[in-house]
Structure 1
Amino acid sequence: MTTSLPVVINLLAKSLEVAPESITGETELESLGADSLTVIEVIFDLEEHFNIQVGDERPDLKCVQDIADQIDRRIASQVAAP
């Protein structure tokens, strides 16, 4: 399964103006200073990047890997859909 984690890390790093090397999947969004608006903006960017639609559901996202997992699930479900 392809993982969106590197793309998520790069988008968060750019949005928050931090070095991508300082972000891992386990990095907590709060420790990066990412508020809910930042997370939503990153998700919008990911939707555009991967040509997917996440929709209005916003699960509890605590760490960077949570965002990547959400995007990966959406990509997998759209690939599986006829």
Structure 2
Amino acid sequence: MAKAISNSDNNIDLHGRLGSILGRSFQINPNNLQESTELASLGIDSLSLVELANSVETEFGVPVDDRAIENLKTIGDLVAHISLSLPENTGIGP
């Protein structure tokens, strides 16, 4: 499992790692991603969103439950979920 990033790491690292996931899994150019980019506009449907959630869990060590998946509409939503769910914000160890 990849090392979970801490919330004190800069957003560039978070965005870079998320961009890498999207590039590998969905052939999306990470340079075109902005926080306002809608996941649906990237061709990410509900099934793809489950795959993305699994990749986020693996990469960041952050669980993404079914309720959270339903609320992820943009890259910014995903970044916020990851950031808020990092171990230092949940009281759980890495």
If the TM-score is normalised by the length of the shorter chain, which range does it land in?
0.7 to 0.9
Does residue 6 of the first structure (1) align with residue 16 of the second (2)?
yes
Aligned to 1:77: 89
Q: Do the aligned partners of 1:25 and 1:65 also contact (CA within 8 Å) in 2?
A: yes
Deviation at 1:70, TM superposition (A): 0.5
* Offset of residue 37 of structure 1: 1.7
Alignment partner for residue 20 of structure 1, among 30, 37, 41? 30
Aligned residue among 63, 70, 87 for 1:53: 63
User: What percent of counterpart residues are identical?
Assistant: 26
Partner of 2:45: 35
TM-score with structure 2 setting the length: 0.69
Report the aligned-residue RMSD.
2.1
Alignment gaps of 5+ in structure 2: 1-6
Contact kept, 8 Å, 1:47 with 1:54, in 2: the verdict is yes
Q: Kindly tell me: are residues 28 and 52 of structure 1, through their superposed partners in 2, closer, same or farther at Cα, counting changes over 3 Å?
A: closer
List alignment gaps of at least 5 residues for structure 1. Answer: none
